[in-house]
Structure formats: C-alpha cells, structure tokens
Amino acid sequence: MTIYLDYQATTPLAPEAFDAMVPLLRDQFANPHSPHRLGRAVTAQVEIARAEILKLLPEGGRLLFTSGATEALNMAIQGAPAGGIVTLATEHAAVLDTVEAQGRAGRAIAILPVGRDGLVDLDRAAQAIRPGVALVAAMLVNNEIGVVQPVAELADLAHKAGALFLCDAVQGYGRVPIPPQCDIVAISAHKIHGPKGIGALWLRDGVNLSPIIHGGGQEGGLRSGTLSPALCAGFGIAARLMRERAEADRAHVESLWTVARALFSQWTLNGSADRRYHGNLNLRRAGVDGARLLSECRNVAFSLGSACASGSGRPSHVLRALGLTDAEARGSVRIGFGRYTTLAQLEDAAGIVNEAAEKSAP
C-alpha cells in the first residue's frame, strides 16, 4: 500500500463529495442551462454548490465556475483592464506564464523577487506597484514551499495605485483566511478534497473582466460552456466540509507538522518556518538527489515540487527564487499531508525516506 503525502498536488476525494456526484452523473443528467423541469432541477444543485463555496470567500462578490484554477487565473490576467501587471517570482506557472505572455503582447510587467524565506519585501513591492499598474497578482499560500504571503498588504498597495488585486488562493482556500481586500480570487476543487476538472473565479462586486471564452454566455457572460452539475456539487460539498471541519482539520495538520519536524530533523526546511501553512513540508538535505530518492521510495508518494512542472528536469523556479543553488534545489522534496493522513502513515513514510536518504547522503 502506497502512503500518500502529496496533498499540494491533489487531495483525496472526500467520500461525501463522491456520493453527491453519483446521482448527477447517473440519473440527473439534464443540461443545467435547459429551461425544462429536469434542467431547472440540476440548476438548483449548481446554485446550492455555488452558495456553499461562497461561504469561504469574502462577502460582496460573485462566483464563476471554471474548468480549474489555471483557467480562472488566465481569465483574470488576460481579462484585466489595460495597464501594467506586477507579480512575484514564486507564483505558479499559470500566473507567471500568462503574465509573461501579456508582456510579449505589449503590457508592462514586473516580477518581484522574494527573500530567502520566500516572502516578498513590501518596500520593494511598493516601489513597483505604482500608478499605471492595472493588476497585482500574488499567491496566498505557495504551492511548493507553503509560505503565506502578505496578501492584505499587497492588496492595499494595489488599491493605492489604482490597481486590482488577484489572489491565487488555490492552496489557501478553506485553510488560511482570504483577506477581504482581494478583488479577484482563484480556487480549485481538487485541492480541498473535491473533484478534478472544476475551479472557480471570485469577483468582487463592481469588478468586470473582458471574457476570453466566447459562446453561449454562461456564467454571467464571462465563461461560456456547459457546466457539469456533478462537478459543481462535488465542489460544493468539499467546500462545506472544509468549513465544518476547519478546526478539526487544522488541529490534525498541526499535530502532524509537529511530529514531522521531529521525524525529519536531519533535513533543512525551505522557506519561512513561521509564515507558513503547516501541511506543506519542503525540505532539503545535502548529498541527496530528490529525483533518485523519489524513485527509490516507491511506496511513498511525495514530490519534488509543483506537479505541473514535474519531469521538466529543471530545478524548481520557486527554490531558485529563494537563492538555493541547483544542487540544493535538486536535493529538495515536498511532503504534503492533511485530513486523511494518519500518524502511523507519516511515521512509516519518514522511516522509508530517511533510510533511503542516509544511503545516498555523504
């Protein structure tokens, strides 16, 4: 049995979410955009899910369903008003690649560095976020190293300059409070024990984007395409569970974090130890080759960083942004745990990983 410790890549589907999806896949198969009774019945399920998801987001906004956070982030960046864009060097590729594409199309862009702890310097950010900037984009909880950026302060700087603030809250939604200063928020279901293939974009009331997908005008005219009621329902149930189980999940993660820090005491933590979500343990060890370690620990599922960049052969851009050498970055691994991880699993996995690391380390 493989021990799963890759919660930042995806989370196990909650059984309750699966149960909610089955009838909508098997029996209630009508198109939610159809005006007949069957269509209206499944539309009601979509709207129940939308309402549940909104409960974990700031007040005073609307929610648009998308195929995932990548689409949501593209919608926000490509559809933002004309002007410059400021973001951070440690953002997900869905942000960095889209921002760079906008730069090639003629927009002024600025990509801010971070410190050794993975955090942006607010004074430097203030110098870059000036009038003429239209959008500032930053991740709440980093997907590779788990650090929590000063999103509220960055949003204040954006507003002072007359810009909108986009928060990639994929890793933080339901775990870390989303500051009310955000104007646009992207989230994803499969990071909170929901199904893959669905995400959402939250827009503060009064914020308008130009659509990048055209067609039937669904989702307020900003995201055309037929919705999947089953995916929406699974997302909604997952969001409800994140809200209802918030304290229990938090306490469980904190207990695992404390144990994990002791189990991996021979490793060095990458990124801030204080401003961090504790379900993400990104570690490095001298002499270790992360890719080789991953192949040797076949009964433990962990990762070297972002699942989206796996197999590229390049050191993580996030770890390089922290100032790590190529060797340090390649000697790093990411261990992620959460709701369904047991203490016994964590202890067994640590034994396997540490034994393999001992054999390769000098």
**Looking at the annotation, which residues are catalytic?**
308
What are 62's strand-pairing partners?
Answer: 203
Cβ proximity of 65 and 50 under 8 Å: yes
Q: Please list, in sequence order, all residues whose beta carbon lies within 8 angstroms of the beta carbon of residue 149, skipping any fewer than 6 positions away.
A: 88, 119, 120, 138, 139, 140, 141, 142
Taken in order 279, 285, 291, 293, the sign of the CA dihedral is negative
What is the separation of C-alpha 246 from the centre of its chain, rounded to a whole number of angstroms? 17
Nearest alpha carbon to residue 284 among 359, 335, 224: 335
Q: Are 2 and 352 in contact (CB under 8 A)?
A: no
The whole-angstrom distance between residue 239's C-alpha and the CA centroid of its chain comes to 14
Q: Per residue in 156-168, is it b (16+ CB within 10 Å) or e — as a string?
A: bbbeebebbbbbb
**In angstroms, rounded to a whole number, what is the distance separating the alpha carbons of residues 236 and 257?**
28
Backbone angles phi, psi at 195, to 5 degrees: -80, 155
